[in-house]
Amino acid sequence: MTLETRILDGADELRQFAEVHAVAFGHRFEEERLAKLILPALEQVTCVAAYDAGRMVGVSVDQRFEITLPGGRFAPAGGITWVGVLPTERRRGALRALLDHQHADFRERGVPLSILYATQTTVYGRFGYGPATVRAIQAHLDTRYGAFANPLQDAGSLVMIDDPSPVAIVREVIERSRPQIPGEVDRQDSGIADMFADADRKQFRVAHRDAAGRYDGFATYMVEPDWEHEAIPRNRLVVRMLLSASIEAHAAIWRYLLDLDLVRTISISNRPLDDPIRWLLAEWRHYRVRHVSDGLWLKMVDPVAALEARGYETDGRLVLDLEGDRLLLEAEGGEARCAPTSCEPQIEIDRSMLAATYLGGVRFTSLRDGRRLQELEAGACRRADLMFASQRDPWCSYEF
């Protein structure tokens, strides 16, 4: 089949886009949800569709982000989402055509990275994406084991937020927290508003202010009631969002959640694996992480620009064979230069696996042991691990 791809425009095309996407995922949008939430959200992003003989068969969205890199640096990243192909048209190249279109656009605009969340682990590696962050899909905590090992130290204060869509507060917290976390992304006000679009009246919001009165923490939660024999309260607290720009705010919000009356269990989703809550708790074993999985997938649209954009923990020199291209990476004083070379390669790696290491969350030595790269010179992977290390586990709070 001959596929054409193009950017969509106008309400009718966006409606068709939403329909194709819904069919690909096996559901239907209610008209009210479509009109109030979905179509306004699609108007904020770039919607691309693949056509076969004039019929829309596949869809994808390109959303622009700025992503935090190791070393506290930033780079533009093209976020890909809303990917779906009609079930009857699968495996005929629609996804490939859509991604080719979007990657070409990123290249043209000088965007060195692309990011996405993958519904399956086997699809995106062939396009150069690698799983670059790991997350706890869910964690649970029994509040009876919620005592901290050390007393809470907090010169700030907590405040309940009445506004059902507190965009300015969340923006302030994100802008202060994201430089600290490799893999974290910025958000437009419309994106923040979307995070609250689905919230119902059962959602509560709490924010933390530092001693100077500036917002540095934010959480949303819902209480699911559970009264055993209508006498013993053991409500379940579902925490949807927890953002913090300081350990004081993080600890204060956790203390608040753990101390809510009548709550027996807390469940929280999408957490970094190095969440300090484990070490705040005296009985840290009761913070039970369930379902560890990949988070953000990343592609180096321009590997040389991408490798020069991030910071490096240690000085070092590395020659990579990247799918036949030899690259010399020389890091000094936190930054690196990268250029084609004729030197003998020390590590042979494909684009997907190099992308997995990019944010510092996946070790070269692990990939070597998992037979995902070739260490051609002894010690090269260990050296690469030290160079690519990240000060914190990479994580992205936003599932787009």
Ligand X SMILES: CC(C)(COP(=O)(O)OP(=O)(O)OC[C@H]1O[C@@H](n2cnc3c(N)ncnc32)[C@H](O)[C@@H]1OP(=O)(O)O)[C@@H](O)C(=O)NCCC(=O)NCCS
Interface positions with ligand X (CB under 6 A): 24-25, 58, 83-85, 90-96, 118-120, 122-123, 126
Residues 6+ apart with CB under 8 A from 75: 66, 67, 69, 112, 113, 306, 309, 310
End-to-end Cα distance, the chain: 31
For the bound state, the minimum distance from the C-beta of residue 135 to ligand X, rounded and expressed in Å, comes to: 16
Where do we find the tokens 């959200």?
A: 41
For the bound state, the minimum distance from the C-beta of residue 146 to ligand X, rounded and expressed in Å, comes to: 36
SS3 323: coil
Residue closer to ligand X (CB basis): 123 or 137: 123
For the bound state, the minimum distance from the C-beta of residue 6 to ligand X, rounded and expressed in Å, comes to: 16
Question: Cα 203 from chain centroid?
Answer: 23
Residue closer to ligand X (CB basis): 123 or 289: 123
Residues 6+ apart with CB under 8 A from 293: 134, 135, 137
For the bound state, the minimum distance from the C-beta of residue 82 to ligand X, rounded and expressed in Å, comes to: 8
Residue closer to ligand X (CB basis): 85 or 367: 85
Q: Distance (Å, rounded) from C-alpha 312 to C-alpha 69?
A: 10
For the bound state, the minimum distance from the C-beta of residue 23 to ligand X, rounded and expressed in Å, comes to: 9
Closest residue by beta carbon to ligand X: 95
For the bound state, the minimum distance from the C-beta of residue 380 to ligand X, rounded and expressed in Å, comes to: 29
Phi-psi map region of 360: left, alpha, beta (phi>0 left; psi -120 to 50 alpha): left
C-beta separation of 24 from 17 below 8 A: no
Q: Distance (Å, rounded) from C-alpha 169 to C-alpha 192?
A: 10
Residue closer to ligand X (CB basis): 91 or 285: 91
**Four-residue CA torsion sign, 110, 181, 82, 29:** negative
SS3 77: strand
For the bound state, the minimum distance from the C-beta of residue 297 to ligand X, rounded and expressed in Å, comes to: 9
Residue closer to ligand X (CB basis): 106 or 364: 106
For the bound state, the minimum distance from the C-beta of residue 299 to ligand X, rounded and expressed in Å, comes to: 13
**Paired tokens of 119:** 């519904």
How many helices (H) does the chain have, and how many strands (E)? 12, 21
Residue closer to ligand X (CB basis): 22 or 273: 22
Residue closer to ligand X (CB basis): 125 or 156: 125
Residue closer to ligand X (CB basis): 98 or 195: 98
Strands (E), 104-191: 113-116, 129-131, 134-142, 157-160
For the bound state, the minimum distance from the C-beta of residue 85 to ligand X, rounded and expressed in Å, comes to: 4
Nearest by Cα to 318 from 303, 334, 299, 337: 337
Torsions phi, psi for 366 (to 5 deg): -65, -45
Residue closer to ligand X (CB basis): 48 or 320: 48
